[in-house]
A and B are shown apart, each in its own frame.
Chain A
Amino acid sequence: MLEAVLLGFLFSLFLVFAGSYFKGKLAVLASLVPISLFIYFCTYLPDIANGEIVYETHKWIPSFGVNLSFTLDGLALLFALMITGVGSLVFLYTSAYLKDHNYLDRFYGYLSLFMAAMLGLVLSDNLMSMFIFWELTSISSFYLIGFNNDKADSRKSALVALGITGIGGLLLLGGAVLLGDVAGTYRISEMVMLQDIITDSSQYLLIILLIFGAAFTKSAQFPFHFWLPGAMKAPTPVSTYLHSATMVKAGVYLLFRMSPVLSGGEMWHTILIVVGAVTMIYSAIHIIFRTDLKGILAYSTISALGILVFLIGIGTQAAFIAASVFIVVHALYKASLFLITGIIDHETGTRDVTQLSGLRKVLMPVAVAGFIAALISGGVPPSLGFVGKDLIYESTLHYADSTILLTLIAIVTKVLLFYAGFVAGVKPFMGKLPEKFSKLHLPSPLMWIPPLVMTLAGIVFGIFPGLIEVGIAKPIASTHVPDFEEFHLKLWHGFNTILGLSAITIALGTVLYFTLKPKHSLEKAIAKLDVIAPKDLFLKLSEGFSEFSRVWTNIFQTGYLRHYLSIIVGFLTLLLGYLIFSDFSLNIDVSTLADLTIYEISILIMLLLGVLYIVFTKSRLAAVAATGVVGLSFSLLFLFYSAPDLAMTQFSVDTLTVILFVLVLYKLPKYLKLSDSKLRIKHRILSISFGSLITLMILRVLNEPKNTEVTEFYAEKAYKLAHGKNIVNVILVDFRGIDTMIEISVLIVAALGVFGLLKLRLKTRDKK
């Protein structure tokens, strides 16, 4: 399985070098990657249908319990097939949709990066590796949403999406760490056995809140839903792939995967049902007010995600079966509708549903696909949508709590989704063909075959629901439900309540479709409420945050060196002052100290004179020379206290420092008094107090007992292990050689930085 996950990463890496070959006619070959992966995962179907679970583990950071552990069970297989299956069709579609696009290779690179990350996410059995793949999907989707990077709103949407899903990623990390701490393992398959321990732990509530935060941001649940409609700025293949079929379902996947571990507490069910229900009805109502095809589809996607969260919250066997079937249903019809919208947009140049009509006359196969997609979406028999809808009603009807309310919410949502499906899939093709669209012709088959394939699959699965039952629904239910009962998916259940509800839904949906027309006036009316919409509240929050950081930065980043120095020194003074005066004891036994020699006295005098000269001189160069004197006096001091290495280095460094200072300061104008006397007094107070504190600190050090353990270790081992007698040098080149390695790298970076800063400026000046 590792190879399957890596294939996408390797392919995108390959495109970095060979990208130019994948721009023209060869672009369609890129689809071989997802197609081969799809076939690969299909070969696992018989095993999984027999109830087997495939494990595979590769060591990564075993000391932290972080490994690349992969599990392929029913749930993972469902998602893997969806990712690679929809992926194959999207890859094919893209080769025609973005034909001759300048950056088509880049697009494929991001797309396969995303696919690989998504596969890694759904196959991971280790929460930590799942987190890494989770973040990778956020990052690759950032590039995909912002693919049209010359448009400002496209860039903004990409940033909003990254911000929201990035916060979710952090929450997931927090949840994973806490969960790993409580369970003592990061492996999800091991956590399942520890459900009681996790539920009873004091951290349980915090863990589920963190996991919910991650899932709700990724899967666009209320109130984090607003990034999804914005993300529709991306090219249509991206909306199809990421924002309907796969990435937004990552949150649903997380909840699905964790529900055997975390569903022990009452809070799990309550929160999921409430949030799911609010999301599904809130965004379903939003659909009425949209006229942009993609907007309609975006809100209906959010609503569908709400249904999934809601079903996982219910958490009965019926609900899990309903959720797994509905995941398939939704992927089939929503991806098709997005692809169809893409074709309409590509051919007519508009997505405004009020302007589109009669397109069946020019785009017949697309119209067929649209009609079938609408049937699946509306749950009309004999499509798989019908099976899915019945399962949803079954799970709400058999839930112990507030049955009627939940069923009612489900019905209202389904009616509105029926309406959405027909507006997006049928309305553009009905009625009279406007004059301006009469010259349209059918695009490349690569574009209209994928939606047709998916919708036909929806019909085939609807007539033979056993295919879904054996391959997907049963393996998932049997691993997720402790007391699993046999069941059979059927298109026809006989006359019962559910059939009645289904008929009511379809009837109401049809009435709604024929009475309510999408209007711009409605869209404008709802726009007035934007002020209190979560989106604006979040944007205001982020604006406030950046305003705060602007003010905060301006306080500290004044551009004056003296200001920076006073802030740093002032902060250190406060810190040291607190440290010293909170626990101050100083007793120096003068008698133990050695007498001052004449050399030391003369060096001290030199030092003092040098410092005084620096402070009072009016010449900059003289001050620099005097700092040299201070430095050299220090190296003499080192020499007397038997640190010849230090003395040599100090001597050379000081020489070079003075030269550098002279080079820089030489060209500056004459010494000027730029600060007033008040400021100078402030600086004096600051420097004197800082100096005295440092002195006190050093005197304190004398009180501490000497620890010579380290010195002895090196003295003993230096010659034995490293063939050297100079401990300092042996430490530098051998014991702590990697430190030195990094230090010289830093040195190079600094030199290159100086070189780049100054030389680049010189070049532009030369050009003038």
Chain B
Amino acid sequence: MRTIILKSASSYLLPVLLLFSVFILLRGHYLPGGGFVGGLVAAIAFVLDAFSNGLDKTKSVLKIHPGFLMPLGLLIAFFSGISPMVFTDMPLMTGLWAKNPIPVIGAVGTALFFDLGVYLVVIGASLTIIFTISESA
């Protein structure tokens, strides 16, 4: 499937789709979106890149094996969950929010970090599965 059109398109599509996935992640708390969909979109962006440029190229773009994103994401989600217990006396998974929203990103709270964790896990897991299968096929 290495056509010139797809190849040249994908070099622009990858950053745009990734940006789009972050956008979906951030808007999730107020509008349709969220970490799960965002992660899927990001994964699709990388898969598209792998289709057009080859798996090795995509892997070199990623620098690390996508599998490493899974424990990272899980840790972020976990710490955002227990942070209310650690920093305040509130029970597990209580939402903590910064008083003032940050420009561009919007309101920042533990839920956002939790979602970020989900986002990373979804990218890591789906890319690990797809890369592994396409390597062995």
Q: Which of B29, B44, B78, B132 contacts A754 (CB 8 A)?
A: B132
Instruction: Flag if A762 contacts B136 (CB, 8 Å).
Output: yes
Which bucket holds chain B's interface residue count? 35 or more
Say if the beta carbon of B133 comes within 8 Å of chain A: yes
Q: Could you tell me the distance between the alpha carbons of A644 and B28 in the complex, rounded to whole angstroms?
A: 11
**Known contacts A744-B77, A747-B122; is A666 also within 8 Å of B137 by CB?**
yes
| CB-based contact A758/B122 at 8 Å | no
Question: How distant is the Cα of A759 from the Cα of B137 in the complex, in angstroms?
Answer: 11
Interface status of A686 (Cβ within 8 A of chain B): no
- B92-137 residues at the A interface, CB under 8 angstroms: 92-93, 95, 97, 107, 109, 111, 114-115, 117-118, 121-122, 124-126, 128-130, 132-137
Name which of A663, A723, A751 has the most chain B CB atoms within 10 A of its CB: A751
**Interface assignment of A725: CB less than 8 Å from any CB of chain B:** yes
Instruction: Please tell me if A737 contacts chain B, counting CB pairs below 8 Å.
Output: yes
In chain A, what residue has the closest Cβ to B50? A659
Q: How far apart are the CA atoms of A595 and B137 in the complex, in Å?
A: 48
A649 is an interface residue with CB less than 8 A from chain B: yes
Residues of B within 8 A of A666 (CB): 137
In Å, the complex CA distance between A644 and B30 comes to 13
Question: Which residue of B32, B70, B74, B124 contacts A645 across the interface (Cβ within 8 Å)?
Answer: B32
User: Using Cβ atoms and an 8 Å threshold, which residues of chain A touch B32?
Assistant: 644-645, 648, 726, 728
Report the minimal beta-carbon distance from B20 to chain A, rounded to whole angstroms.
Answer: 11
- Given the known interface contacts A645-B34, A724-B29, A744-B77, the answer about A734 and B93 at a Cβ–Cβ threshold of 8 Å is yes
Closest partner residue, chain B, to A719 (CB atom):
B30
B27 to chain A, nearest CB (A): 8
User: Does the CB pair A726–B29 fall under 8 Å?
Assistant: yes
A723 touches B137 (CB 8 A): no
Given the interface pairs A652-B44, A724-B111, A758-B133, the reply to whether A741 lies near B77 with Cβ below 8 Å is: yes
Which residues of A lie under 8 Å from residue B35 when comparing CB positions?
732-733
A738: which B residues are within 8 A, CB to CB? 81, 92-93
Q: Complex Cα distance A754/B133, Å? A: 8
Interface residue? B13 (CB, 8 A): no
At the interface, yes or no: A722 with Cβ under 8 Å from chain B? yes
User: From residue A730, how far is it (CB to closest CB) to chain B in Å?
Assistant: 7
B29 and A759 contacting across the interface, CB-CB below 8 Å: no
Q: Which residues of chain B are near A649, meaning CB under 8 Å? A: 36-37, 40
Instruction: Say whether A645 contacts B93, CB under 8 Å.
Output: no
B-side contacts of A724, CB under 8 Å: 29-30, 111
A660-B132 Cα distance, complex, nearest whole Å: 11
Bound: A653/B24 CA distance, A? 15
Closest B residue, CB atoms, query A758: B136
Q: When the two chains form their complex, are residues B30 and A725 in contact, meaning their CB atoms are under 8 A apart? A: yes
Residues on the B chain within 8 Å of A734, using CB: 93, 95, 111, 114
Contacts of A751 in B (CB 8 A): 67, 70, 124-126, 128-129
Residue B31 is within 8 A (CB to CB) of chain A in the complex = yes
| Min CB–CB distance B50 → chain A (angstroms) | 10
Contacts of B22 in A (CB 8 A): none
Q: How many residues of A are in contact with the other chain, CB < 8 A?
A: 43
- State the CA gap A737–B101 with chains docked (Å): 22
Q: Are the CB atoms of B34 and A733 closer together than 8 Å? A: yes
**A533 located at the interface, meaning its Cβ lies under 8 Å from any Cβ of chain B in the complex:** no
Give Cα A747–Cα B77 distance, bound, in whole angstroms.
Answer: 14
Report how far A664 CA is from B129 CA in the complex, Å.
11
Complex Cα distance, B99 from A723, in Å, reads 11
> Which residues on A sit within 8 Å (CB–CB) of B74?
744-745, 748
CB-CB < 8 A to B118: which residues of A? 732-733, 740, 744
Complex interface residues of chain A between 658 and 712 (CB less than 8 A to chain B): 659-660, 663-664, 666-667
Q: Tell me how far the C-beta of A715 lies from the nearest C-beta in chain B, rounded to whole angstroms.
A: 14
| Cβ–Cβ contact B134 & A725, under 8 A | no
Give, as a whole number of angstroms, the nearest-CB distance from A638 to chain B: 11
Q: Give complex CA distance A725, B133 in Å.
A: 39
Contacts of B44 in A (CB 8 A): 652, 655-656
Q: A750-B129, A758-B132 are in contact. Are A744 and B117 (CB under 8 A)?
A: yes
Asked if A729 meets B40 with Cβ closer than 8 Å, knowing A648-B33, A758-B133, the reply is: no
A556 at the interface (CB under 8 A from B): no
CB distance B125 to A733 under 8 Å? no
Q: How many angstroms from the CA of A301 to the CA of B91 in the assembled complex?
A: 54
Interface residues of A in 735-766 (CB under 8 A from B): 737-738, 740-741, 744-745, 747-748, 750-752, 754-755, 758-759, 761-762
Closest CB of chain B to A744's CB: distance in Å? 4
In the bound complex, CA of A660 to CA of B136 (Å): 12
Report if A726-B28 is in contact (Cβ < 8 Å); known contacts: A663-B134, A759-B132. Answer: yes
Expressed in whole angstroms, the Cα–Cα distance for A752 and B128 within the complex equals 8
Partner of B95, one of A664, A722, A726: A722
Asked whether A652 and B37 contact (CB < 8 A) given A663-B130, A726-B28, A751-B128, the answer is yes
Is A522 an interface position by the 8 A CB rule?
no
Q: Establish whether residues B29 and A744, one from each chain, have CB atoms under 8 Å apart when the complex forms.
A: no
Would you give the shortest CB distance from A658 to chain B, in whole angstroms? Answer: 11
Given the known inter-chain contacts A656-B44, A745-B74, please indicate yes or no for A723 contacting B136, CB distance below 8 A.
no
Shortest distance between the CB of B28 and any CB in chain A (Å): 4
| Distance A112 CA – B97 CA, assembled complex (angstroms) | 49
Give the contacting residue for A656; candidates B43, B95, B117; CB below 8 A.
Answer: B43
Give the distance in Å from the alpha carbon of A357 to the alpha carbon of B136 in the complex.
68
A193 lies within 8 A of chain B by Cβ: no
Known: A645-B34, A649-B36, A762-B135. A729 touches B115 (CB 8 A): yes
Q: Is the CB of A729 within 8 A of B34?
A: yes
| B136 and A733 contacting across the interface, CB-CB below 8 Å | no
B111 closest partner in A (C-beta): A733
For A644, the chain B residues whose CB sits under 8 A away are: 32
Q: A652-B37, A660-B130, A748-B71 are known; give 11 further A-B pairs, CB within 8 A.
A: A653-B40, A664-B137, A666-B137, A729-B29, A732-B34, A734-B114, A737-B93, A747-B70, A750-B129, A754-B132, A755-B67
Across the A-B interface, give the 5 residue pairs with the lowest CB-CB distance, nearest first: A652-B40, A751-B125, A644-B32, A729-B34, A744-B121
28 A-B pairs whose Cβ atoms sit less than 8 Å apart in the complex: A645-B37, A649-B36, A652-B37, A652-B43, A655-B40, A663-B133, A667-B137, A722-B95, A722-B111, A724-B29, A729-B34, A730-B29, A733-B34, A733-B111, A737-B93, A738-B81, A744-B73, A744-B117, A744-B121, A744-B125, A745-B74, A747-B121, A747-B125, A748-B74, A752-B67, A755-B128, A759-B136, A762-B135
